[in-house]
Structures are given as C-alpha cells and as structure tokens.
Amino acid sequence: MWRASRMVWLWLSLCSLASAARQVEVRVDARVELLTTLARLAEFREFNMPNSASPYAQRVAAQFSPFKEHAAVRRLKQLKAEQGVSYDAIASFAVHVGPLPELEERIAFERGPERLDARWGGVGARVFLGELREFARASKAAEFFAGEREFYAQVEQRLSQRLAQSKALPWFDAVFGARKGASYTAIPGLLCGGGNYGVGVRFPDGRAEEITPIFGCWTWDAQGLPVFGEGYLPLYIHELCHSYTNAVVDRFAERLAPALSRIHASCAAQMQRQGYGNWKTVAYESLVRASVVRCRLATEGQAAANEQAAEEVKEHFTWVPDLARLLGEFESDRARYASFEAFMPRVVTFFEERAASVAAVDESRPKVLSIEPRNGALDVDPGLKRLVITFDRQMRDQSWSIVKLKGERCPLGKATPAYDAARRVLEVAIELEPGTSYRFMLNSEGMDGFRSAEGVPLAPFEVAFTTRAP
C-alpha cells in the first residue's frame, strides 16, 4: 500500500512540472451570454434562478426583453417541450457555434459533434441556429456584449484569482492521462445562477480539444460583481472531470444502462429536481463526483475528501463514497490498469451490485398504482374536490406526508385525509383554482408518513397537474 501511494505521489510530482506551463484562461463568452439570455427569455427555470439577479441581469433585461416574442425564443420553448432541450444542452450549443455575429457551425451538425448534446437533434438544430442569428442581429447582441467588456474583465480577474489556487490539473494528468494540446478555458456564466456545466468541444479532424467548463454566478457584492468563494475549487474539479469521464461512460453505455436505469428509477424525484432526468446523466455525475472525492484526497487530504463524500451523500448520490474507494484501486494499481477505460469493467460490476441492492429495497416498498387527477394532467376540472391515491398494498392507518414544495402551489384542503376500509385507497380533500399549476410530494427526504402496514416508506413521489383556465 505504501509503495502504491508513493507511485501516485511521484506521478503527481512529475505531472505538476509538465502542467506548470499550461494556463487556464478565464473568459466571459458572448456565445454563452447570448444562449443563456435566450433561455432566460424563454422562461427556463434554471436560467431564471433568484440568485442570478444582479445589476448585469437588469441590463440584459433592458436590452433583450423587447425581443421576448422573437421566433428564436418561441423555437427554444418548443425544443424544450418536444426534445427536452434545457440545462447543459444550452451550454453545449453555445460552445459549438462560432463567434457573433456569424455563429457558424464549428462542426457540421450532420457529423454529430461528439460533445454537442444529443437533444438538439443534429441537423434539425439548423432552424434554431438561423433564428438565433436573426435574434442576435435584431437585438444588437454583439454591440451590447462589447459594451460590457470592462465589466467582463473585472469578472475574469476575480475568477482567475480563485482558480489559480487549484491543484486539480496535475491530478487529472496523472490519473486520466494528459490531454496533449488541449486548451482549458473557464467561463463565468453570468446568468446561470447556481447552474454549472462541464462542456467542451472535441473535433473529428484532430484539432486540439477545447475544455470549457461554465461556472454559475450566484453571489454578488455591492458593486454588482460576482463573488467566487472557496466552494469554486471543488466545483472546478467537478466541471473539469466531465471532459475526462463522460466519453468513457458513452463507450460503456450499453453495459451500464440496465443497472443505472434501475438506480435512477429508485431516486428519480431527487435526481430530476437537480436536472438529472435519465440514467446516463446520473452515470456521468456518479463518476465525476467520485473523482472529485479522489482529487481532493490527493490534493487536500483526508478531511477534505471526507467532507466531499458527505456532501455527495447529502445530494442523494449515496453510492459515491463506495465508488470513490473503488477508484482508489485504479489509482494504486496502474500496472494492472493501464487506462481508466481498462478499469471500467470494475465500475460496471459496482453498479450492477448496487442495482441489485436497490431492487431488493424497491420490492419491499409500497407503490402508487394510480392517482386522480392524473399525474401530469393539464386540463383538470377546477371544481374537483378530492385527490384519490391508490396503492398496491395495505398502508399504515392515519399516516401520510403530503409535502408542499418551496415556491409551488399545493392544493391540500382542510379536511383530514382518510383511507378506505382496506387501507389501499386514500382520499384527500383539495381546493383548486382555475388555470393554476400544482406541484407537491407524497413523502420526501425528511418526511415519510406514507408507509406500508409493515412500516416500509413509500419512495418520494412527485405529483403535478394544472387546472383548466376559466
């Protein structure tokens, strides 16, 4: 064990010399600001977080709000509704087009750029791109962003000072292998709030890879400048890591899919609230988060690694500490595992074993068989007075948790809910208003009153519906 640790230390030392000359540029990117502005106008929640409010955001609103009904905004709403375009898809598109005003395809869409989010649909994205060019021209976007250059320079200086403290790059070189010729550019996303995106561009013609993590800005000082606290250092590791591990997940997708699908289904509500809507995003995040634990162990020590592992569990990635320990085997036995890809069969087995454990727990949990009004319905009768929930087994009497979500409407009425004689059907009094959206949980992480007669809790279950307008 001592010898293996000594080898990792030696690799880190050698790589630190090789990495010393490599610079991480920090640059506010007009393409990112343009795409996130458009998503803001299209009312994407992730780009309208309250913590993204700033004097800069006010200047953006003053410039671009008159174009809220532009075809590009309408198209983006449609793409979200029909193809799920949101979150990192926005960031991914931004770095795959050229500078304003031309916004050309840097890699032809029909070639399926490796790191362009698949939700854009390849050549189908050209219609949106044409409308985006027209939006940029009509709104004088290039002129606006040029006028913010002094402000951007102050932002860049602040983030540069923070990221200069990071020791992450030598660790990535040692563990995953140096990316020869790759450029590293950290991009402050001034309208991203708490959202951060590990995007980049890999060219099919052999040009150097571009690693371009985008960092949200969620704290602002009295001068209207973002504050980049110490939390940005582990975040930097996280977003960098996507450029190293996502491609490996893609190559092992067929083998990972069954187990990760089961794991994702077991915690879908918690994952979806964080923007992780399918098994693959959870796979990406799992490897990244475990790698952050390993990197902090190597560069900051055991206490920092323990802190990071605890944070991942808090974010419902309960398997990450065990996965991080497994990755330690890869770091310490490079004679056996020449590359991370060579180690991936062990990772596949890890997730298969985890999925089997999840399946056993899931089998014992009560399930919601049906709910009226129908979950996701958009035309609920506002005169409806009862919510009816049917379970697959007998439930514990006089026990339930109907949880109101922050910022959402909950229709719960004043009367006490009641089960039928078999305790499989619960009726809940509700009070509805026309043209209103409701969203709430049956059980949550901290409230689990819905339990089977044997005492096993229902997994948190999200309910959402909208009543008909008058």
The percent of residues above 90 in pLDDT, for the chain, comes to 82
Cis peptide before 373 (omega within 30 of 0): yes
Q: Which one-letter DSSP state was computed for residue 118?
A: G
Top pLDDT among 1 and 385 is at 385
Quickly tell me which residue has 């709030």 as its tokens: 193
Rounded to two decimals, what is the model's pTM?
0.73
Phi first, then psi: what are they for 177, rounded to 5°? 100, 140
Q: How far is CA 209 from the centre of its chain?
A: 22
CA distances to 26, 290, 296, 356, 368 from 328, in Å: 31, 10, 12, 23, 40
pLDDT digits (tens, 9 = 90+) for 407-447: 899 999 999 999 999 999 999 999 999 999 999 999 987 89
CATH, range 366-470: 2.60.40.1220
**pLDDT at site 179:** 85
402-404 vs 437-442, strand pairing mode: antiparallel
Contact (CB, 8 A) for 59 and 148:
yes
Residue 56 above 60 pLDDT?
yes
Reference 52, options 65, 68, 37; nearest CA is 37
In angstroms, rounded to a whole number, what is the distance separating the alpha carbons of residues 421 and 84? 42
**pLDDT at site 10:** 39
Residue 459 above 90 pLDDT?
no
Q: Cβ contacts of residue 121 below 8 Å, gap of 6+?
A: 83
Helix (H) or strand (E) holding 258: helix 253-266
Cis peptide before 101 (omega within 30 of 0): yes
Residue ranges of the domains in the chain?
2-237, 252-364, 366-470
Residue 8 above 80 pLDDT?
no
